[in-house]
Amino acid sequence: MSWTNNTAEIAGLDAPARALLGTLTPVEVPKGAVLFCPGEAVKGYVVMLSGQVDVNLVGPTGRDILLYRVEPGQSCIQSTLGLLGGDDYTAEATAETAARLVLIPRDVFFALIDSSPAFRRLVFSAFAERMQAMMQLIENVSFMSVESRLAALILDRSDSDGCLHMTQAEMATAIGTAREVVSRRLEKLARSGCIAQERGVVTILDRKALNQVVRGAAF
Amino acid sequence: MSWTNNTAEIAGLDAPARALLGTLTPVEVPKGAVLFCPGEAVKGYVVMLSGQVDVNLVGPTGRDILLYRVEPGQSCIQSTLGLLGGDDYTAEATAETAARLVLIPRDVFFALIDSSPAFRRLVFSAFAERMQAMMQLIENVSFMSVESRLAALILDRSDSDGCLHMTQAEMATAIGTAREVVSRRLEKLARSGCIAQERGVVTILDRKALNQVVRGAAF
DNA sequence: CAAAGGCGTGTGACGAGGTCACACAGAAAA
DNA sequence: TTTTCTGTGTGACCTCGTCACACGCCTTTG
DSSP per-residue string spanning B182-198? HHHHHHHHHHTTSEEEE
Q: Of B29-38, B73-82, B126-135, which range is least confident? A: B73-82
CA/C1' separation A62–C19 (Å): 11
| Cα–Cα nearest to B74, from B123, B20, B107, B110 | B123
Contacts of A137 in chain B (CB under 8 A): 138
Paired with B93 in beta bridges are B36, B55
Contacts of B63 in chain A (CB under 8 A): 142-143
Domains of chain B with bracketed CATH: 7-142 (2.60.120.10), 144-214 (1.10.10.10)
Angstrom distance (rounded) from CA A199 to CA A181: 16
Nearest-5° Cα angle at B26, B24 to B32: 150
Q: Is residue B100 over pLDDT 50?
A: yes
Nearest-5° Cα angle at B106, B105 to B111: 100
Q: Is A137 on the interface with B (CB under 8 A)?
A: yes
Paired with A44 in beta bridges are A105
Q: Is residue B38 over pLDDT 90?
A: no
* pLDDT tens-digit readout, B4-16: 445 545 667 787 7
CA/C1' separation B182–D28 (Å): 29
Interface test with A, best of B124, B149, B181 (most A CBs within 10 A): B124
Q: Which pLDDT band holds residue A10 (cuts at 50, 70, 90)?
A: low
Strand C nucleotides, any atom under 7 Å from protein beta carbons: they are: 7-13, 16-21, 26-27
pTM reported for the whole predicted model: 0.89
Share of chain A above pLDDT 70, in %: 91
Q: Is A39 on the interface with B (CB under 8 A)?
A: no
Q: Is A136 on the interface with B (CB under 8 A)?
A: yes
Is the distance from CB of A104 to CB of A113 less than 8 angstroms? no
The per-residue pLDDT for B3 is 43
Is the distance from CB of A196 to CB of A202 less than 8 angstroms? yes
* pLDDT tens-digit readout, A126-168: 888 888 889 999 999 999 999 999 999 999 999 999 999 999 9
Report the gap between the CA of A121 and the closest CA in chain B (Å).
9
Once rounded to an integer, what is the mean pLDDT over residues A38-65? 88
Q: Is the dihedral of CA A165, A171, A173, A174 positive or negative?
A: positive
Q: Is residue B73 over pLDDT 80?
A: yes
Is the distance from CB of B169 to CB of B179 less than 8 angstroms? yes
The per-residue pLDDT for B77 is 79
Q: Of A20-29, A83-92, A189-198, B173-182, which range is least confident? A: A83-92
Phi, psi for A89 (deg, rounded to 5): -65, 145
- Mean pLDDT rounded to a whole number for chain A: 87
Cα radius of gyration (chain A)? 20
Q: Which pLDDT band holds residue A11 (cuts at 50, 70, 90)?
A: low
| Cα–Cα nearest to B218, from B157, B160, B145, B125 | B145
Angstrom distance (rounded) from CA A197 to CA A171: 13
Kindly state the helix (H) or strand (E) to which residue A190 belongs, with its residue range: helix A179-191
Strand D nucleotides, any atom under 7 Å from protein beta carbons: they are: 6-12, 15-20, 25-26
* pLDDT tens-digit readout, B128-184: 888 888 999 999 999 999 999 999 999 999 999 999 999 999 999 999 999 999 999
CA/C1' separation A107–C26 (Å): 53
Angstrom distance (rounded) from CA A82 to CA A39: 11
Q: Which residue is nearest to nucleotide C17 (CA to C1')?
A: A181
The per-residue pLDDT for B22 is 78
Q: Is B128 on the interface with A (CB under 8 A)?
A: yes
Contacts of A217 in chain B (CB under 8 A): none
* pLDDT tens-digit readout, A75-134: 888 777 777 766 766 788 999 999 999 999 988 998 999 999 988 888 888 888 888 889
CA/C1' separation A178–D10 (Å): 15
Q: Is residue B218 over pLDDT 60?
A: no
Q: Could you say which of B59, B81, B137 has the minimum Cβ distance to residue A132?
A: B81
Is the distance from CB of B199 to CB of B208 less than 8 angstroms? no
Q: Please tell me which residue of chain B has the smallest CA distance to A68.
A: B135
ipTM of the complex: 0.88
